[in-house]
A = this chain, B = another copy of it.
């Protein structure tokens, strides 16, 4: 049976694919599977009591406004909170530089919508955030890649690729990179801003996890270095669009993210948002504002950092204890993920069914490579599992890998 819609899909749908991760993880939802696959924050840390209080307060004080249509740009007190937060970090934005979006995912979609013509070259890291590729594929870019190592995007390669390819923009994940967990060094952050200005190629800085640093201080944002580079300029009219979200410090179920950028870019983004869905949930924005305006938040972030650090440490120790020789991994200073490299010859995608047999799940590294990459890598999430589960899950992965290596001999 066909219907007339099926014969009418737009050409761009041939480039839209269902998320590999979401499809893969459907098989791992059974309760006895230890999953390092998803990108979930630890639910047991959600500020449930504070959300209850915030809902009650919003519905007592602003019931009609919080349930009504509101402006496309977002709830002004929430936007002002974010503006003040960025200004305290050396990023001199005003309200006109910030658009509230449905998670930072929607900000990425809008960047695609307002900048990518079919065939445009977009420079991304290899590997990079799968959701950015998924958002942009519909707009038909050609990806140009630069390798990412344990210090973030490789700047030597970046300059060479800029010269050779003249990409439309550069996309970089500076903090606790998804999927690798690595961070861009301060030196490289400065250099990337210099290159951006030297070659007049703008930058997208995607920073969903920056505040979740559990070793050292929060690193200055690339947007801050861009402001510093343009010293004396008193508006935010530079080379950087920066995206972030409350998903990792409040709760992802509220779907509140944002983009900051030059005024004219934000104006176009607001137009995109009008056409896309008019606005984000007014109610969730009011609730999020009550949450972030509370003085409990810094302590809450400290708690998340402490718990995630403990989980990361448990995972690293389990690697030491269980994984076979030849396995290496990144050591993230924050965030939710790390990157495991199996011994040469192991194919993490091919091994996935065996992992499911062992009742453990991960995401094979392959889909994170925009073009191509090594097949022995995997992304592991350490934020969503208790330490005992983490240790047991790594043990199960080690069994699977050791069996695979034994079979090869």
Contact = CB atoms under 8 A, between A and B. Distances in A.
B63 A48 contact: yes
B116 A283 contact: no
Contacts of A247: 69
Interface residues of A, number: 95
A131 B69 CA distance: 14
A46 interface: yes
A172 to B, nearest CB: 15
Contacts of A228: none
A139 B67 contact: no
Interface stretch (A174-182, A272-280, A300-308, A322-330): A272-280
Interface stretch (A84-92, A232-240, A346-354, A397-405): A232-240
A331 interface: no
Contact of A283 (B10, B103, B196, B284): B284
A252 B283 CA distance: 9
B281 A18 contact: no
Contact of A202 (B4, B11, B138, B169): B4
Contact of A51 (B1, B5, B52, B67): B67
Interface stretch (A106-114, A151-159, A312-320, A388-396): A106-114
A290 to B, nearest CB: 12
Contacts of A359: none
A101 B13 CA distance: 18
A5 B261 contact: yes
A328 B228 CA distance: 62
A237 to B, nearest CB: 5
A255 B106 CA distance: 15
Interface string A27-69: 0000000000011110110101001100110010001111111
Given A268-B16, A277-B255, A202 B69 contact: no
Given A3-B238, A237-B3, A277-B255, A168 B8 contact: yes
B201 A4 contact: yes
A64 to B, nearest CB: 4
Interface string A215-253: 000000000000000000101011101000001000111
20 contacts: A4-B200, A4-B239, A8-B169, A8-B202, A9-B268, A11-B117, A12-B113, A12-B114, A40-B68, A46-B68, A67-B254, A69-B247, A69-B253, A70-B253, A102-B276, A103-B278, A253-B282, A254-B283, A255-B281, A283-B284
Interface of A: 1, 3-6, 8-13, 16-19, 22, 38-41, 43-44, 46, 48, 51-52, 55-56, 59, 63-70, 72, 101-103, 105-106, 109, 113-117, 120, 131, 134-135, 137-139, 168-169, 196, 200-202, 233, 235, 237-239, 241, 247, 251-255, 261-262, 264-265, 267-268, 270-272, 274-284, 287
